[in-house]
Structure formats: structure tokens, C-alpha cells
Amino acid sequence: MRSKHEAARGAPLAVLLGVLLMLLTGIGVLAGSGFVEVEQVLVPDDIFVAGMGAEPATAELRLLLTGTLPEADVPVDCILVIDVSATATGTLTAAKELALELIDLFGEQDRVGVVSFSDRAVLDATLSMTKSQAKTAVADLEVGGKSALGEGLRVARQELLAEGRDGSLLVEIVLSDGQSNVGRTPDVEADVADEAGIMIISIGVGTLINQSLLDELAQTTGGAFYPRRSDAMLAEIEALLTVEPIVPTLVIEKWLPEPLRYLEATPLPTRVVRGSDGTLIQWQIALTERWEAVIGIAAMEEGVWETDDGSVIRAENFRGEEVVIDIEPLELKAREPLAPTAFFLAAPNEPRIGVETTFDASGTVVYQDSSIASYAWDFDGDRVIDDMTDDAVITHAFAVEGVRNVTLWVTDDEGRVGEFDREIEVFPSVSIVRTIDTCLPDDETIEGATIEVAIKIDVNTEIHGLVIHEVTPVGWIVELTENNRATPHNDSVNHAVDWLFLETLQDGDTRTIRYRLTAPTGGFTSDQNLDGYLGGRDSVTIVGLGSSSSPQFAQQLAGEDKITRVEYVSAPVAIAHWDTAQQSMDICLPAEFSFDQIQYAVSLWLSGSVVPHTGGLTVDLMLIQDLIAYWLTDTSVYDPLP
């Protein structure tokens, strides 16, 4: 049964306590009240901006309400307002007895306080005291002077508003004759009590009762007036104070701010209103033990966004007061998807010409559950794709030595491209260097002279079948002197020599092959003094190539490759290389003068004879003076005198 007070007020609800907000780390926000708790969970809280082809692009915001349906009646906080003025002197004993009977009506969940008034009002027992303490306060009441009924109502109201529980039924039971001759006006206090949700029950005590005033107090606040004590009164008051709980209706107003976008919700909302600044999602439900809504949301921009903008749950308590529970927002992070982070390793990291190098891009990192669709490679640094594959591993053999900038582009299945490049230094598979020894400076020689040619081979990787092909100058005589386990072939018709190694050369092997060249005699195209030189001069170039099929490469021989044949030399050079015993010129003799060579020069000076191989030069006094200085200081003929 609903009480008369419930019918008059028109909005009964369960017990309402203050809103408690508590942040739950990592999962959501919990809001609590005496009849409902609100929990929000956001999964996931880190998504990608919608429409950019990356997952997850949506998040689920779960709103969970846990309702508590009261099993007992609404508790009562009641102040007994007892008239102890002189006008009620003859009835104080009866009022005390009635007050004690009223106190016995309240149950364990109820609280009772006592206010007495005469010419002033006194709070004799607070709501925090026990019912036994309230009875003691009633028993100790004494008669006073004038009647300040309005003051008694004020003190009772203040105690109820200060100490009364949210969700309890606030009641003032007035035991008075209704006379008021001092202090504030009682009917004004009745209006204030009504606005505060306090019900006044008035009972007439005494001989001259102001029924009109006492009835007005009751009617204004939705209470009841009893002109005098009756046998049925206590039962009626007990029924009046018994309020059965009624399941409240909740209005859930969820504001989803821009740039978050509402997608769908389960259960379907009562209404959805989308505006320029956000979306209102609203449900109207009856309180249950458990209610859950799942809201799909997306983010239209990159950033960190709050999921709520003033979202609340609204209800009304049985006193007609609106209760508002805030729904605290969570944070949703939205970001644009990342392109793959390309990366590769090269093995070996110092590759050789013609040797396959393995490039492994399996260390490439992809994001947002994407996958690599293609690997594109540029091996020569021209920013043009040389090879493309869907496999992370590829092999490549460089044809040219030197530093190469290798670039990798990886493309994921959404078309995002990552790039990585690194410099790779390519070394020759073999180092082949030619040296030429003519015994004269600047690789000069004279007609008929023999020179030594050496080809040094330093192997940098395993080579199967190395061939050295050397093209010699036309007209020069070739003599093979050292083959170092290679099979030679002297092709005099084509003026070439080949050396074939019939064994596998290992990394670190060193081989040297040698041959001699003898310069032809005569045939100079000019005997004039050209560019400061006396007599004819010609130059020849030796061209060599090293090659292999495994690994496959072909490279020019490095080192010296030019020989200059001169018709004449200077007189000091000719004398320094004169073999006095053989009476001929040997260009490989030491460049320092011997005593025999100085004597030979003196004889040429004395006789005025021509110095051989000089084109007709003779020795004069100045020259012999220089030659003696070279001899005495042991200075090379090619160096200046000290």
C-alpha cells in the first residue's frame, strides 16, 4: 500500500544517497548512489582514425548500471515538536505520554529527535541520538512561558535538513494546541518545510486548540491533522509513515562530443540527436538489477578525446527532488596508421664483385595488423627499382666495386610505403695489380732493353677458374718467366698471353705471375727534340683483364700499364748505366756512379768522343765537374746534387 503522503507527493523512489565518483584505473569510471551504480569501460581505448584502412577503427563504450532495489520500507527521520508553553500546562503530562507512544512506533532503521518550545525552541534530542535518549529527553521536559510554535518548527526543520538522510522520509510530528504568540509565523514555516520535502503531522493537545492552524500545517506539507488523541490515531500515523519503495524510472542522457562519431548502440536508444557539436544518445528505462548498453564509436580526427560531455542519469526521489548522477568521461586516443618501418641486413656485409649477396628484409616492422604486399629494391643508387618481390629475402650480385647506396621500399596491403637505405661497400672478388720495372724513371726504357712485368693476384673470395688475359704491345718480344701453377698460353699472333688457373683459389690466396718484354729496335717516328726530349719517343699500353665464371666477373687489371721507349738518354744517365766491362749500356745498373764510370767519362772528355745512346752528345768540362760531384757524394743520377 502507498501512504497518503506518497499519493500527495506523486513521486516515490527508493533510498537515494549522495553521488560517489571513483576512477577505476584502466577500465572506466564508477559512479554510485544508494540505488544505482554506473560503470563505464572503453575497449579498446586506442584506435585509428576512421576511414584510413587500419584496424581497429572503432571502439566499444560499455555503460553498465547496477541497480539496488530496496527490500525494506523507506526509513523515517522524525522530529517530535512538543509544546511546553503555559497554554499547554495542563496537558504536558498527556503530551509526554503520547510522545513516548509515538517513539515506540518507529523501527530500527528510523531515527527520532525532540524539539520543545515555549517562548523559545530547544533541540532536546538530535537525530543522532538513540530512541531511549529521545524518551529521556521527553521525560525531562518542563513547562515554560509563551508559545513560539513557529520557532519550534524552524529548529525541527533545520535539524532534519542538517542531519536527515538522503532518501529518508522527513517528518515533523507537532504536539501542540496550535497557539502561537511569539516568534515567526507558523504558516510561513509550513511553506518552507513543504519546499524542503518535510511532511508535518499535527496532533492537538490542550483545551483550546487552534484546529485551523494545525490543519493548515498538515495540508500544506501533505501530512495529516488529528484534533485529539484517538484509539485509531497511532495506527493511522504508523501507516502514514510506512512508505513502500517503488522502482524508479531513469533517464540516461549520454552526450558524445565531436569529433567522436556515434555508430550504433545495443539496446536501441530511445532517441538519438546528432548536432554540430556532438550526439545525444538517450534511454528511458526502469531501474533493474543490471542494465548494459554497448555503444560503437569512431574518431574522425587524430588526438585524445573524452567520451562524454555532460552525460548524466536523471531520476526523481519520492519527495519530488531530481537526482542527477554524472557519468564521468573516459579518454579515447585516436591516431593515424603508421607506414611500415623498412629494414634490411646484407650478408656478407662486405660483398665481393660477382658474389651473390643476401638481402634480408624480414626485420621490417608493420603496424595495425597490416602485412607487407611487396618489397622493391634499388641496388645501384639511381632511385629506380631494380627488382621487386613478395618475399623478404632476395639475392643480388654486384658487377662494379665501390660504395653503393641500396634502397628498400616496402608497401603494406593498404598501400602505405616505408623506405630504408644504407651504403654497401662492394669489394673486388680479386685484386689484380700489374707492376712494370724498366729500371729507368717513369717506366722509360731504350730500344732493345728488357723489362720485367709482374702481376700480383690477391684473392678475396673463392674463385673457380680464374683467367688472366694480357694484351702485349705489337713488336715487343714476350718471354714467360713465372706462372705460379697457372697454365699459360702465349698467343703471339694476336699479341696476347693467357694464364688459366685450373684449381679453386681460396679467399686469402696470393699468386704472382711474371713475364719479360724486350723493346724493339728502331722504328721511331721522330728524331726531333720534342717537349724537351732529344730523339724519338713512343709509348705503348698493356691491357689486361681478369675474369671468372664462378663467381662471374670481369675486371681490368690495376696498376702500371704504360711503357715509354726513348731513342736517346742524357749523357749523365748514359754514363751511369755504362757497363765498362762489357762496353755496352745496361739500364738496370745502379743509378750511382762508380769509379770506373768516372774514368770512362774522363776518357770521353779527353778524347772528345760521343757518349753512346745520347744522339751525339759529348762530355765538356762543366759536365765532368758535375759527374765527379755525383760520384763523390754518392748521389743518384736522377736526384739533384746536394
Range among 5-19, 153-167, 231-245 rated most confident: 153-167
Distances (CA, A) of 218 to 188, 317, 470: 13, 21, 129
pLDDT (0 to 100) of residue 54: 83
Question: Tell me, what DSSP letter sits at residue 577?
Answer: T
How distant, in Å, are the alpha carbons of 131, 292, 300, 598, 624 from that of 577?
140, 111, 92, 11, 16
CATH fold group of domain 430-566:
Immunoglobulin-like (2.60.40)
Rounded to 5°, the CA angle 78-83-85 comes to 155
Q: How confident is the model at residue 627 (pLDDT cuts 50, 70, 90)?
A: very high
Q: Are 317 and 423 in contact (CB under 8 A)?
A: no
How does the average pLDDT of the chain come out, rounded?
88
For residue 44, whether the previous peptide bond is cis, meaning omega lies within 30 degrees of 0, is yes
pLDDT digits over 384-418, tens only? Answer: 999 999 999 999 999 888 999 999 999 998 889 99
Distance CA 337, CA 544 (A): 57
User: Which is the CATH superfamily of the domain at 345-424?
Assistant: Immunoglobulins (2.60.40.10)
The domains spanning 76-237 and 430-566 adopt the same CATH topology: no
Is 13 a residue whose pLDDT tops 50? Answer: no
The 10s digit of each residue's pLDDT in 538-565 is: 999 999 999 999 999 999 999 999 999 9
| Selected residue with higher pLDDT from 321 and 272 | 272
CA nearest neighbour of 77 among 97, 116, 117, 107: 107
Contact call for residues 612 and 619 (beta carbons, < 8 A): no
Tens digits of residue pLDDT in 70-126: 556 788 999 999 999 887 656 888 899 999 999 999 988 899 999 999 999 999 999
Residue 72, judged by CB atoms within 10 A of its CB (0-12, 13-18, 19+), counts as: exposed
Residues 519 and 513: their CA atoms lie apart, in Å, by: 20
d(CA 636, CA 429): 40
Q: For residue 54, which phi and psi values (nearest 5 degrees)?
A: -120, 145
Confidence (pLDDT) at 600: 96
Instruction: Tell me what pLDDT residue 21 has.
Output: 26
Check residue 74 and give its pLDDT. Answer: 81
Distance, CA of 620 to chain centre: 89
Average pLDDT over residues 487-500: 94
Query: The domain 4-71+247-335 is classified under which CATH number: 1.20.1260.10, 1.10.150.120, 2.60.40.3670, 2.30.33.40?
Result: 2.60.40.3670
The C-alpha atoms of residue 546 and residue 552 are separated, in whole angstroms, by 11
Q: Which three cell numbers stand for residue 374?
A: 611487396
> What is the C-alpha to C-alpha distance for residues 346 and 348, in angstroms, rounded to an integer?
6
Query: What would the mean pLDDT of 572-578 be, rounded to a whole number?
Result: 95
Half-sphere exposure of 231 (CA within 13 A, CB side): 0
Q: How confident is the model at residue 536 (pLDDT cuts 50, 70, 90)?
A: confident
Work out the average pLDDT over 152-170.
91
- Residue 567: is its pLDDT beyond 60? yes
Nearest residue to 392 via CA among 449, 353, 344: 344
Give the model's pLDDT for residue 68: 72
Burial group, residue 29, by CB count within 10 angstroms (0-12, 13-18, 19+): buried
322-346 residue pLDDT tens: 788 999 999 999 999 889 999 999 9
Give percent of the chain with pLDDT exceeding 90.
74
Is the per-residue pLDDT at 312 higher than 60?
yes
pLDDT band at 373 (very low <50, low <70, confident <90, very high): very high
Q: Considering only residues 167 and 254, tell me which one the structure prediction assigns the higher pLDDT.
A: 254
β-pairing verdict for 46-48 and 487-491: unpaired
* CA 580/CA 571 separation, integer angstroms: 15
Is pLDDT above 50 for 30? Answer: no
pLDDT of residue 526: 59
Of the candidates 256, 253, 254, 252, the residue with the CA atom closest to the CA atom of residue 332:
256
- Residue-wise pLDDT for 54-69, tens only, equals 888 999 999 999 887 6
Helix (H, G, I), strand (E, B) or coil at 468: strand
187 in Cβ contact with 178 (< 8 Å): no
pLDDT, tens only, 165-180? 877 899 999 999 998 8
Confidence (pLDDT) at 229: 87
Could you tell me which residues are beta bridge partners of residue 28? 24
pLDDT band at residue 245 under the 50/70/90 scheme: low
Choose the CATH number for 76-237 among 3.40.50.2300, 3.40.30.10, 3.40.50.410, 3.40.50.300. Answer: 3.40.50.410
- The domain limits of the chain are 4-71+247-335, 76-237, 345-424, 430-566, 571-633
With 70 as the cut, is the pLDDT of residue 12 above it? no
Q: Check residue 7 and give its pLDDT.
A: 33
520 has pLDDT over 90 = yes
Rg of the chain, C-alpha, whole Å: 58
Average pLDDT over residues 273-295: 93
Q: What single-letter amino acid sits at 403?
A: V
Q: Phi and psi dihedrals of 220, rounded to 5?
A: -60, -35
* Beta carbons of 186 and 174 less than 8 angstroms apart: no
Q: What is the DSSP track for 356-400?
A: EEEEE-TT-B--TT--EEEEEEESSSSSS--EEESSSEEEEE-SS
Query: Measuring CA to CA, how many Å separate 61 from each of 30, 147, 270, 295, 297?
Result: 14, 62, 18, 5, 7
- pLDDT of amino acid 144: 82
